[in-house]
Amino acid sequence: MAVTQKTVILYPSLGVGHLNPMVELAKLFLRRGLAVVIAVVDSPDKDSVSADAIARLAAANPGMAFRLLPVPSTGRDDYPNPVMRILDVMRVSNPALRDFLRALPAVDALVLDMFCTDALDVAAELAIPPYFFSPSALGYIAIMLHLPDYYPTAPASFKDTPEAVLRFPGAPPIRALDIASTVQDRDSDIARARLAQCARMLEARGILVNSFDWLESRALEALRGGLCTHGCPTPPVHCIGPLVLPGTTTGGISERHACLEWLDAQPDRSVVFLSFGSLGRFSTAQLREMARGLENSGQRFLWIVRNPPKQQSNSVEPDFLGSLLPEGFLERTKERGFVLKNWAPQSEVLQHQSIGAFVTHCGWNSTLESIAAGVPMICWPLYAEQRMNKVLIVEEMKVGVVMEGYEEGLVKAEEVERKVRLVVECDEGNELRQRVMTAKEMAIDALKGGASSEVALDEFLTDLHKNRTCTMKSAT
């Protein structure tokens, strides 16, 4: 008797930063013979992924199906926190998700982004086994799952005791200031919503995590031991990573980005790469401090510069880099610097042998890309859970250092110069490089047949095959 192919629906939150890891997860599932559909919310509100972007992803990934789910507006545009808007958009998307799932002949699992806990109601209604996929660090999961029990009885909100050192199972000591921005104010709507989401994650059949056992062994042990959920059963945790964007283009040499051609001419491990994600924008004052620090360091650099926030540039977006950076900077550094506006192929850049350090906002995707490439990090967190990632990178994994001053809102040129020189030139930088190269080797090993990430995926698939294929209930 032929085995029926299992069908898994992946349901990311808004934004490319949540979609890209789901695409990498889909590739993994496809290689294991699963049928995969990525259901993408198409909302008139901000942060929706465009139909053109979906078309490009579909063209680049034959065999991977995408489905845009048109959903109504939330009817609000005055959210005090952008995450609240995301949660509202995902909540009003439930009817569209329900209709889509009901129209399918069979679904064996629904894999949800961490911000999609409201979709658990749809999964329960249609009797579809739900799983979560975390594009964030396992240490972040360990802390956040602990917060619904810990935070309500804490002496104060984290924002009121910023320097208090907190201790959570599975994580290094962390200042209250470094806990995710969404839960800084215990009495805020966003904190209550996030704590409720974290509590509901325990309803899942399992949690897939873009990490690997060796990298975050302490967090994994705490989660599997139930230490993070006060004795409540923790869903099985499957570390199936690192899932990172490929480090090579799918096209020919003619399609290589110009910055890669420039990197080809640089010495090995000599270039500092500065990139801060799609939302990483700095004031003009900060950009000029960064420029002065890079120039004074004497180091080679590849720098991705985005326009400052509109409110910090008189609502006028500059048309050229010269208006953002110190006068003459581009001319003075043209022999050892390459500055780009807005974008570069980050994963490819990190994999290039000339990259010696990565100044990063500490997004988890970027962190894993840096580890997979064996590049030490200089941490400059900006928003969301990036400060928590910074603690993990510096204190737990010991593969990076902190760019001091980001908490005050302005990192001085002297600090930029100091940290760049430290990582590229000094013994401490060599020690960081040795540790991150070990992490790179362990990441490669984790993905080999019979190794930890492969075993974790096998455990998920075994659980999936225990479920009977769910034929959608008809609408009542």
Q: For 224-241, write each residue's pLDDT tens digit.
A: 999 999 878 899 999 999
pLDDT band at 192 (very low <50, low <70, confident <90, very high): very high
pLDDT, average across residues 388-407: 97
Alpha carbon distance 83, 190 (integer Å): 7
pLDDT confidence of residue 44: 85
pLDDT confidence of residue 472: 47
pLDDT > 90? residue 396: yes
pLDDT confidence of residue 252: 38
pLDDT > 50? residue 458: yes
pLDDT, average across residues 259-279: 95
pLDDT > 70? residue 469: no
pLDDT > 60? residue 318: no
Alpha carbon distance 157, 46 (integer Å): 30
Alpha helices in 333-426 (DSSP H): 346-351, 364-373, 386-391, 413-425
pLDDT confidence of residue 43: 86
pLDDT, average across residues 297-301: 98
CA dist list (Å): 458 to 33, 355, 464? 12, 35, 10
pLDDT confidence of residue 76: 87
pLDDT confidence of residue 4: 75
pLDDT confidence of residue 315: 40
**Which residue in 80, 179, 138, 157 sits closest to 385, CA to CA?**
179
Q: Give the three-state DSSP class for 325.
A: coil
pLDDT confidence of residue 227: 95
pLDDT confidence of residue 244: 87
Q: Rounded mean pLDDT of the chain?
A: 91
pLDDT band at 474 (very low <50, low <70, confident <90, very high): very low
pLDDT > 70? residue 1: no
Dihedral of the CA atoms 292, 298, 299, 304 (nearest 10)?
20
Query: How far is C-alpha 310 from the geometric centre of its chain's CA atoms?
Result: 25
pLDDT confidence of residue 78: 86
**Which residue in 335, 378, 328, 324 sits closest to 355, CA to CA?**
378
Residue 263 makes CB contacts below 8 A (sequence gap 6+) with 271, 302, 349, 352, 354, 355
pLDDT > 90? residue 445: yes
pTM of the model as a whole: 0.92
57-61, 139-143, 217-221, range with the lowest pLDDT: 57-61
pLDDT for 345-375, tens place per residue? 999 999 999 999 999 999 999 999 999 999 9
pLDDT confidence of residue 320: 61
Alpha carbon distance 371, 393 (integer Å): 10
pLDDT confidence of residue 191: 97
Residue linked to tokens 């240490």: 139
